[in-house]
Amino acid sequence: MKLLAVEASQNATYYVSRYQQVEALGAELYVLNGLGTEDFWDPARYRIAGSQNIGDIIQAAKEWHAEEEFEGVLTFSESGVVAVAAVAEALGLPGIGVEAARTSRNKYLMRQAHERGGAAHPDFRFAADVDAALAAGAELGYPLILKPTLGAASNFVFKVDDPQEMRVRFADVMTGIETMTWALMEAEGLDLGPNGVIIEGYLDGHEHLIEAVAWDDEVYLGSIVDRITVESGTFDDDVHHAPTSLTPEQVAEVHQVVRTAAHAQGLRRAVLHAEIRFHQGRPFVLEIAVRPGGGGLDHMARISAGHDPIRCVADVARGERPDVSPYSPTQVHTAAMCLISGSGTVASVEVPEGAAEDPAVFFLKITATPGTVIKRPPAGNNILGFLGARGASLEEALSTAHVMASRIRTEMRPEHA
């Protein structure tokens, strides 16, 4: 099978490992970047459109499709969701459609869809300026959550407790909207919906990340991961555990919420990454993205639940129903964390020899290289990489991950040196 991966603006080499996974499943993967580096992928199956404009990307895709006859188009990037939907429509290939893609990319449009579709969600308001934000605070009551409508990876997401903090954090989010990589990597020439700040009521319970598949009238939960982070005023996506500690009854409730929300977003055949948070004992949808979760969540899904999100992406892209069934956890525990440093410029990252080959380590990926600028909240949410370990219990897996993380040595320079 021939599949086409598209990014409007190449995100360094972040998705290479996932492209390699697609090829390991038996696909011939071709890559089209609007803007990118020459050495990104096999030259025989790689092209650069030379432009971030969606019209130019579609034209390049059409010309290549006429030569190769692709079976499907895919992306692993949150910033590529709408662009890929537009390319798939233009090529007459399976896709979720531009409207559903836009609804699933823009947090405000997503919340409106949840409201219309009856999915349990936090109260929300769109704020074009700080006065609107303060009015929302007075109406909804504190604490509240602020986030960019076109954000990703917890960048510029804040919990605020009072009007004074609202003023400060609102300014931080507005700065982030102008500078955030995820927004700058979007294809140009697309209507992405309102670009601003969404304000939501705070949900005070435990949080879960779910890899799922929507297929016609059903939604299948493939993997459920517990977020076990101790929170502050920012949301570092840093420590997770699977299989979930949710009871079967809670899993059933989560399934109903995810199904309702996915259908409200117009998703009938799609790979989903859902984030659910409990509040006063009930599950609410935070968001549903139409791509697999990042970091090591695909590895956690395979190990802890026998679910392969990457295979599902390849199947759905070409219009084939994936081999999915209701959530069924294994007895293997996994713990994964983001590798987090202070802010600054990376001088070096030293990983112990043989660390990646340790049988207890299922995932070790360093995404930062010398010269990478790391921004930490409130200026951003960059990390050094990801680490995942397995064990017979949560405690064993988490201990292994912490020990291995402590052996990774990072040298930083002051950010503006």
Task: Give 98-136 pLDDT, tens digit per residue.
Answer: 999 999 999 999 999 999 999 999 999 999 999 999 999
- Nearest-angstrom CA–CA distance, 369 and 379: 20
- Nearest-angstrom CA–CA distance, 34 and 87: 12
Count of all residues that appear for the chain in the document: 417
Segment (H or E) for 257: helix 248-264
Alpha-carbon separation of residue 274 from 214, 260, 294 (angstroms)? 11, 12, 12
Q: Give the SS3 label for residue 185.
A: coil
Q: Give residue 231's pLDDT.
A: 63
Q: Give residue 417's pLDDT.
A: 41
Q: Give residue 415's pLDDT.
A: 61
Alpha-carbon separation of residue 397 from 231, 394, 405, 409 (angstroms)? 21, 5, 12, 21
What does the CA dihedral 385, 19, 271, 96 come to, rounded to 10 degrees?
A: 120
The contacts of residue 112 (CB under 8 Å, 6+ apart) are none
Q: 357 phi and psi, to 5 degrees? A: -90, -5
- Nearest-angstrom CA–CA distance, 224 and 233: 25
Q: Give the SS3 label for residue 91.
A: helix
Other Cβ atoms within 10 Å of 375 Cβ, number: 16
**Cα R_g (the chain), whole angstroms:** 21
- Sheet containing 361-366, strands listed edge to edge, beginning at the edge strand earlier in sequence: 282-289, 269-279, 207-215, 218-227, 239-242, 333-339, 385-391, 361-366
The contacts of residue 373 (CB under 8 Å, 6+ apart) are 344, 345, 346, 382, 415
CA 240 to chain centre: 14
Q: What does the pLDDT look like over 380-409, one tens digit per residue?
A: 878 888 899 999 998 999 999 889 888 899
- Sheet containing 46-48, strands listed edge to edge, beginning at the edge strand earlier in sequence: 46-48, 28-35, 2-9, 72-74
What does the CA dihedral 234, 203, 337, 395 come to, rounded to 10 degrees?
A: 130
Q: Give residue 314's pLDDT.
A: 98
- Nearest-angstrom CA–CA distance, 169 and 198: 12
Strands 373-374 vs 409-413: parallel, antiparallel or unpaired: unpaired
Residue whose tokens read 């504190």:
142
Residue ranges of the chain whose pLDDT lies below 50: 417
